[in-house]
Amino acid sequence: MSEKKQMVGDVYYPTPEVVAQAHVPDYEKVNSAAVADLAGFWGRIAAENFEWYEPWETVLDESNAPFYKWFVGAKVNIVHNALDRHQRTAVRNKAAMIFEGEPGDVRVLTYQQLNHQVCKFASVLRSMGVRKGDRVTIYMGRIPELAIAMLACAKIGAMHSVVYGGFSTEALHERIEDSQSRVLVTCDGAWLRGQIVELKKIANEAVDRSASIETVICVKRTGQEVEMVAERDHWYHDLMNLPIASPKAATEVMDAEDPLFILYTSGTTGKPKAILHTHGGYMVGTATTLKWVFDIKPEDIWWCAADPGWITGHSYIVYAPLVLGATSFMYEGAPTYPNPDRWWQLVARYGITILYTAPTAIRGLMRFGESWPEQHDLSSLRLLGTVGEPINPEAWRWYYRYIGKERCPVMDTWWQTETGSFMITPVPSMPLKPGSATRPFPGLQVDVVDEEGNPVPPNEEGYLVVKTPWPAMLRTIYGDPDRYVNQYWSRYEEQGWYLPGDSAKKDEDGYIWIIGRIDDVIKVSGYRLGTAEVESALVSHPAVAEAAVIGVPDELKGNIIKAFCILRQGYQGSEKLAKELKDHVGHEIGPIAKPATVEFVSTLPKTRSGKIMRRVLKAQALGQDVGDVSTLEA
Ligand code: PRX
């Protein structure tokens, strides 16, 4: 790229080798063509790289915005593109998925083997009466059966609703209730730091609270004794050995706009939102962004170290790599188990070529020093990536220097559960600035604006907005279209812009620097949590009358949760009670949601209408000016 153009700040230019092999050697050229003709750009990509049962009539239908439609009239199934079509080519014998469990067990599934497993499980689900449009909740650890279950649902046109295995009873229950799933796929347990996370036990508690689940299918992973309820519960391996589990199963022909899955994410109110993605646009968006941003080649071993339970894993462990016919690596456990070099060992052992992870993980491993990565041959790596929260330049440089050995560009990808695919991200041929997600993916127009929608001057903070639709965009909030409109499209209704809920800055070179959330969402170690979810878990404890939580900056986790609790009469604040409340939140939502500190208070700052002013609590906690408190209750 143009080394001649003088850019501002700490800039890392790509090497000629990186540019030479990049799918997008000249970002400016591709981007300006895409911006000039967005529908033409995506239409060409969709026609040339994917198989459709029937073509579309219209690439992009904006007539009922913000309910945008992509590839209208086309018939497709993402699984046809992820598995079926590869059975006709040499890709059939290639590793689709390489898995290493935390205890060290290894499994390799070729495209053919994965297809057989998916067909078998799809047949099992069909035999249980699961049909197009039904919801299936999946609650598992990071094992291949999680991907098999997702793909089997998609194959028969059922929507999967994956609940992250780090979530606990109430979080799972709430998501089952909202989706009204009749089937739950789970496993006995998951390995984490040498311990068993008792997933089936948690699933049983959640199902006890839910009326909709009729069938539970349980994968045996950790092997300990678990309670299986007669009639309701079945072992996965028993079902997969039945004659009905056929290795051949038809793939349901779907409309491009038919739902593929729902995935719950935290928002500003207590109830998590079911973000809905579709077969056609999501397929085109995720596969294209992965190919261009991480320059995927047939020989790559791609490792997205996220959990399939989050959007990162849905898009970039399961769907996009398979659609591209790539090899995706999956590791079950903790990065530091049994030692802080487990990841580096994996990179060397499997010859990982591209590693994609979260800043929190990088900071966590950085703590142990470079002597750990230095013990391993990391020369197979050619690209690195990060996602989930802003990366501090210090962590970026450590990653670039000690993991990428100053050879591997770092792709800082900004996106969301809602966006489905990368939105603001470099491509490898682009100059990089540590801490900046750089520029929008070709075709996309984003800006940083003030309340009225005017662009703010360079380097000033404002609201991030997205001005154009994109194929992998969410289509709605399942069961709540009004909330979809209010949440994302009402702030800049006149302009028709999407509001992601982040603040950002844009520098003189047009590079975007994400600052953080502007709403009541807290990012803890890259995990997205709603203040209201944690607060309702706290008040479900008998000692707590009222609670408010805020995010406080933390060097390692990005943010940690601080809780303020007003106790019911007859309860006394103590260290013991604080611990009990933290554990209670862990039990209800999951360990990631545990407050780091609990403070007992007698009042909470509220507006006259009774809304808790978390902004005031946060300013006080950080020793900052509390700002305008004119709406504060007298
Ligand atoms: O605040 C942004 C942050 O994560 C939010 C989206 O969270 P979630 O839906 O859980 O998806 C995370 C994985 C795609 C965003 O609103 N975020 C995500 N990526 C970045 C980021 N913040 C800064 N830099 C990023 N690269």
Distance 191 CA to ligand 1 centre (A): 26
Burial of 104: CB neighbours in 10 Å, binned 0-12, 13-18, 19+: exposed
Tokens representing residue 160 in the block: 């999967």
Confidence bin at 1 (pLDDT 50/70/90):
very low
335 lines ligand 1 (CB under 6 A): no
So what's the pLDDT on residue 634?
58
**Residue 597 phi, psi (nearest 5):** -135, 150
Atom of ligand 1 nearest to the CA of 437: 26
Task: Give the Cα separation of 460 and 455 in Å (integer).
Answer: 10
Whether the predicted pLDDT of 632 surpasses 90: no
Atom of ligand 1 nearest to the CA of 386: 26
Distance 528 CA to ligand 1 centre (A): 8
307 lines ligand 1 (CB under 6 A): no
119 lines ligand 1 (CB under 6 A): no
Sign of the Cα pseudo-torsion (73, 480, 498, 490, in order): positive
Sheet holding 462-466, edge to edge: 446-449, 462-466, 502-506, 512-517
Task: Give the Cα separation of 562 and 598 in Å (integer).
Answer: 6
So what's the pLDDT on residue 6?
87
H helices, E strands: number in the chain? 20, 30
Confidence bin at 536 (pLDDT 50/70/90):
very high
Whether the predicted pLDDT of 186 surpasses 70: yes
Q: What is the pLDDT of residues 54-89, one digit of tens each?
A: 999 999 999 999 999 999 999 999 999 999 999 999
Q: What is the pLDDT of residues 248-261, one digit of tens each?
A: 999 999 999 999 99
Cα angle 370-375-380, degrees, rounded to a multiple of 5 = 95
Terminal-residue alpha carbon distance, the chain: 59
Tokens representing residue 380 in the block: 């197979």
Write down the pTM of the prediction: 0.96
415 lines ligand 1 (CB under 6 A): yes
Whether the predicted pLDDT of 166 surpasses 70: yes
So what's the pLDDT on residue 172?
96
So what's the pLDDT on residue 630?
72
Confidence bin at 626 (pLDDT 50/70/90):
confident
So what's the pLDDT on residue 34?
98
Distance 121 CA to ligand 1 centre (A): 33
Task: Give the Cα separation of 572 and 582 in Å (integer).
Answer: 16
So what's the pLDDT on residue 370?
96
Report the pLDDT averaged over residues 282-295: 98
**Where are the alpha helices (H) located in 106-263, listed in sequence order?**
111-127, 144-156, 169-179, 199-209, 236-240
Whether the predicted pLDDT of 182 surpasses 60: yes
Q: What is the pLDDT of residues 208-244, one digit of tens each?
A: 999 999 999 999 999 999 999 999 999 999 999 999 9
So what's the pLDDT on residue 631?
72
Whether the predicted pLDDT of 4 surpasses 60: no
So what's the pLDDT on residue 302?
98
Residue of 262, 416, 559 to mutate, ligand 1, most atoms within 8 A of C-beta: 416
Residue of 310, 410, 414 to mutate, ligand 1, most atoms within 8 A of C-beta: 414
Radius of gyration of the chain (CA): 24
Report which DSSP code applies to 443. T
So what's the pLDDT on residue 522?
94
Confidence bin at 2 (pLDDT 50/70/90):
very low
Task: Give the Cα separation of 534 and 524 in Å (integer).
Answer: 12
Whether the predicted pLDDT of 188 surpasses 90: yes
Give nearest CA residue, ligand 1 atom 10. 528
Distance 417 CA to ligand 1 centre (A): 8
Distance 437 CA to ligand 1 centre (A): 11
Task: Give the Cα separation of 27 and 286 in Å (integer).
Answer: 18
Whether the predicted pLDDT of 471 surpasses 90: yes
Give nearest CA residue, ligand 1 atom 4. 388
Distance 500 CA to ligand 1 centre (A): 10
Distance 526 CA to ligand 1 centre (A): 7
Task: Give the Cα separation of 437 and 426 in Å (integer).
Answer: 7
Whether the predicted pLDDT of 171 surpasses 90: yes
Task: Give the Cα separation of 587 and 597 in Å (integer).
Answer: 16
Task: Give the Cα separation of 419 and 473 in Å (integer).
Answer: 5
Report the pLDDT averaged over residues 342-366: 97
So what's the pLDDT on residue 391?
96
Q: What is the pLDDT of residues 567-604, one digit of tens each?
A: 999 999 999 999 999 999 999 999 999 999 999 999 99
Residue of 387, 465, 511, 559 to mutate, ligand 1, most atoms within 8 A of C-beta: 387
Residue 514's contacts (CB-CB under 8 Å, 6 or more residues apart) are 390, 414, 424, 437, 464, 502, 503, 504
Angle between helix axes 27-36 and 38-49 (nearest 10 degrees) is 110
Distance 377 CA to ligand 1 centre (A): 31
Confidence bin at 415 (pLDDT 50/70/90):
very high
So what's the pLDDT on residue 268?
72
Tokens representing residue 300 in the block: 């790559």
The alpha carbon of 600 is separated from its chain's Cα centroid by a whole number of angstroms, namely 34
Report the pLDDT averaged over residues 177-205: 97
The alpha carbon of 358 is separated from its chain's Cα centroid by a whole number of angstroms, namely 11
Give nearest CA residue, ligand 1 atom 8. 416
Confidence bin at 629 (pLDDT 50/70/90):
confident
